[in-house]
Structure 1
Amino acid sequence: MQRIIVAPSILAADFSRLADEIHRVEAAGADWIHCDIMDGHFVDNISFGPEIVRIVRGLTSLPLDVHLMIEHPDHYVPRFVKAGANSITVHVEAEAKHDVAKTLQQIQDTGCRAGLTLNPETPFDLIEPFLH
């Protein structure tokens, strides 16, 4: 059986106590820290950007799993890499007008782990070509 990775999202954190919240999930055994990035366009909500990821990077040595729920994620990959991301996941829907393979390669070329995800209503066959 594969080991399950626990990656709590900082979106649920009390940002006025972010350091304490991160240390609490570290002590509880979290494997990674998950950062949900939302731009108000690809999804309705707005969360935070590379600066918060940079702050989180300074608070923990755990891997940072950055989930880009944004339009044109390829434009932002370098900023999140510089901020300290270890893993970057993009949505196949956000890349529909772009080259998904190119964006995934862009992420991998930085040394980050690349991930691809889809919304529940999106047909699974859109990501099948990327399953190895």
Structure 2
Amino acid sequence: MEGYCPVVVRHFVPNLTIGAPVIQSLRKHTTAYLDCHLMVTNPLDYVEPLGKAGASGFTFHVEVSKENWQELVQQIKSKGMRPGVSLKPGTPIEEVFPLIEGENPVEMVLVMTVEPGFGGQKFMPETMEKVRVLRKKYPTLDIEVDGGLGPSTIDVAAAAGANCIVAGSSVFGASEPAQVISLLRKKVEEAQQNS
């Protein structure tokens, strides 16, 4: 996705939070898609501030939103953001089906390919089965993967059906970040053309 910039807000993990003030500052300098992945126990509290700040996408975790996801999706859309749902590696993929098939569905599913918490973790290839299931069941759905993605893991993620890639350490730790980004994009585009 051209001009795509993921922003992670963490709260049910022990890291510091990046919130609405950072989004607002970024928005002043870019028209990029600012994808906010909220690892928080109370995502509804963040919808209004992130919407006002200029967030483009709002991805919440299914593990903390089972009781109010319909209201959450409606609120996200009402603030002009694109709703997405994420799940941790141990969460069964079937838990997101109602959110995709509902009357007011999410528009993207983020499959975590590491346990939420810290960057630089090793990619968990077993999570690709979830991506394959989603791609088969929902051929036009945006499927994002996050965790341990880089030149050595992109082929398996793209072949499984992921079309949105979040890469942190592999990009920011590279001597030539632009080359890594180009490679990741190329591999996803090739996989999509071959499917």
The TM-score with structure 2 as length reference comes to 0.49
Superposition pairs of residues 86-97 of structure 1, within 5 angstroms: 86-96=56-66
Provide, for residues 61-81 of structure 1, a one-character-per-residue CA deviation record: whole Å limited to 9, x for no partner: 112111111110001110000
RMSD of equivalent CA atoms: 1.3
Match of 2:23 among 34, 53, 63: 53
| CA–CA separation in structure 2 for the residues paired with 1:37 and 1:131 | 23
2:72 corresponds to 1:119: no
1:40-119 to structure 2, matched below 5 A, reads: 42-96=12-66, 98-119=67-88
Higher relative CO (CA 8 A, sep ≥ 6), structure 1 or 2?
1
Q: Please list every run of 5 or more consecutive structure 1 residues that lacks an aligned counterpart in the other structure.
A: 6-29
Gaps of 5+ in 2: 102-195
Q: Tell me the matched-pair count.
A: 101
Q: Which runs of 4+ in 1 moved over 3 A?
A: none
The code of the aligned residue for 1:110 comes to K
**Cα-to-partner distance string for 1:45-95 (whole Å, 9 max, x where unaligned):** 123111111111112111211111111000111000011101111001121
CA distance in 1, matches of 2:98, 2:59: 16
Give identity over the alignment, percent: 33
Of the candidates 31, 38, 41, which is equivalent to residue 3 of structure 2? 31
Find the aligned partners of 1:107 and 1:52 in 2 and give their Cα distance.
Answer: 19
Cα distance in 2 between the residues matched to 1:49 and 1:130:
25
The whole-number CA distance in structure 2 between the counterparts of 1:130 and 1:48 is 26
TM-score (norm 1): 0.71
Distance in 1, Cα, partners of 2:80 & 2:18: 23
